[in-house]
Amino acid sequence: MLGTGEGYASADRNLDLALKRNKDRREQESVYFSLYGRIEVHEWLLKDTVRMKAYREAILLNEFFKHKTVLDVGCGMGVLSMFAAKAGSKKVFAVDAATITDLAHRIVQDNGYGSVISVIHGKVEDIELPSDIDKVDIIVCDWMGHCLFAENMLDSLIFARDKWLSAGGHIFPDTAQLYLAAIKGLDQDLGFWHDVHGFDLSAIRRKCESKAVVEHVTAGQVMSKVCLVKSLDLYTACRQSANFRFFYELKVTRNGWVHALVAYFDVGFSKSPHRISFSTSPSAPWTHWNQTVFYLETPLPVKSGEVIKGVFAMKPSEHSIFDLEFDIYLDFEGREKYVTIQQSFVLSNSFTLCGL
């Protein structure tokens, strides 16, 4: 049993750690929201035609929005809010913690929706809606990050859902599935760092092997059948949804080499009349999410019909509230080679190569 002095010292240490975590969180949020205050980031999102078409059709072709109260979580420039207003919503609250809300307010006014849309600057966890608004009928949110869960926006959506969504209210989108497959790499990408103007820069490649890399993967690179590793219903999803382990089996579909595993996701709007959805699959049209690639330390020589199996584990990063950490265990007993691999990866919220 600790003495009084030791007890006070332990309490002081715990308080210091808690204060440091809060300071680190505030600093990380400041950088993150500063990034999303930049126009070019939102321009990139708005030029994603797959994303925009899905939200536009799910909202504008939906009679349910008429005369409803809507909450847009992470509104950006306010385009989704204007879709809701155009669909006949009586009131829309557009919330974002980035300074892009200054521009969103101007855009809303310029398009004649100032009487319907109220732009609110702040984190959804910190703001309050007007006193006469107890619940909302609909929550609209583009919460998906790379590998579905990066950037931790799902927690904000769940907070808004639990605090403001009425019984029987709708969420757009409200379903999501995360998939895993095996892929071959592109030869030019795999060999690039070994000879750069006559110099060996493979140390960079080795550093990238600990990073989950956001890349554009083509259907021609896929070497296996796809495995569903996580499914979400946004009406029941909990805040620990990004923390899970899953045993996967990937059946190889053709002969060749497997250099990496790839993760991608599908999203659905089940409350839209035509059950609108979109995919970030390598075989689907391009989206700004691309795919998330986990390069293996040892390439696998595979034959059609063989099976790659293991455990795919994900959790929020211990160091950054917007990043993800992965542990991937792989067991492959092929006709040419037996390989077991255990690797850890970090997926950073970064627009730079491999998060360097």
The arrangement of strands across the sheet holding 69-73 comes to 117-121, 91-96, 69-73, 136-141, 165-172
If asked whether residues 250 and 117 sit together in one domain, one would say no
Place of tokens 């006559």: 198
Intra-chain end-to-end CA distance of the chain, in Å: 46
pLDDT (0 to 100) of residue 79: 97
Report whether the peptide linkage leading into residue 173 is cis, meaning its omega lies within 30 degrees of zero.
yes
If asked whether residues 253 and 350 sit together in one domain, one would say yes
Last residue of a domain, one of 94, 116, 142: 142
Percent of the chain with pLDDT over 70: 88
How far apart, in whole angstroms, are the C-alpha atoms of residue 188 and residue 347?
23
- 49-76 tens-digit pLDDT: 999 999 999 999 999 999 999 999 999 9
Q: Report if residue 150 sits inside a domain.
A: no
Q: Is 259 exposed, middle or buried (0-12, 13-18, 19+ CB in 10 A)?
A: buried
- 127-174 tens-digit pLDDT: 999 999 999 999 999 999 999 999 889 999 999 999 999 999 999 999
At 41, phi and psi to the nearest 5? -65, -45
Q: Report if residue 20 sits inside a domain.
A: no
If asked whether residues 351 and 204 sit together in one domain, one would say yes
pLDDT category of residue 349 using cuts at 50, 70 and 90 = low
Residue 28 DSSP symbol:
H
pLDDT (0 to 100) of residue 175: 98
Cβ pair 311, 201 in contact under 8 A: no
In which element (H, E) is residue 155 found?
A: helix 153-164
Q: Report if residue 24 sits inside a domain.
A: no
Q: Report if residue 332 sits inside a domain.
A: yes
Of 29-43, 173-187, 227-241, 243-257, least confident by mean pLDDT is 29-43
Is residue 30's pLDDT more than 90? Answer: no
Last residue of a domain, one of 90, 120, 142: 142
The total domain count for the chain is 2
Q: Is 14 exposed, middle or buried (0-12, 13-18, 19+ CB in 10 A)?
A: exposed
Whole domain around residue 59: which residue ranges? 39-142
Is residue 258's pLDDT more than 90? Answer: yes
Q: Report if residue 29 sits inside a domain.
A: no
If asked whether residues 199 and 309 sit together in one domain, one would say yes
At 209, phi and psi to the nearest 5? -65, -20
Q: Is 51 helix (H, G, I), strand (E, B) or coil?
A: helix
Q: Report if residue 147 sits inside a domain.
A: no
If asked whether residues 127 and 182 sit together in one domain, one would say no
If asked whether residues 107 and 184 sit together in one domain, one would say no
If asked whether residues 184 and 314 sit together in one domain, one would say yes
Is residue 205's pLDDT more than 80? Answer: no
If asked whether residues 301 and 223 sit together in one domain, one would say yes
pLDDT (0 to 100) of residue 42: 86
Q: Report if residue 110 sits inside a domain.
A: yes
Return all residues near 181 (Cβ < 8 A) that are at least 6 apart. 222, 223, 224, 225, 226, 227, 250, 261, 262, 264, 282
Q: Are strands 175-183 and 324-333 parallel, antiparallel or unpaired?
A: unpaired
If asked whether residues 197 and 258 sit together in one domain, one would say yes
Given its phi and psi angles, is residue 74 left (phi above 0), alpha (psi -120 to 50 degrees) or beta? Answer: left
CATH number at residue 103: 3.40.50.150
If asked whether residues 205 and 98 sit together in one domain, one would say no
Region 95-107: mean pLDDT is: 94
If asked whether residues 290 and 345 sit together in one domain, one would say yes
Cβ pair 89, 163 in contact under 8 A: no
CATH number at residue 188: 2.70.160.11
Q: Report if residue 170 sits inside a domain.
A: no
If asked whether residues 189 and 286 sit together in one domain, one would say yes
pLDDT category of residue 249 using cuts at 50, 70 and 90 = very high
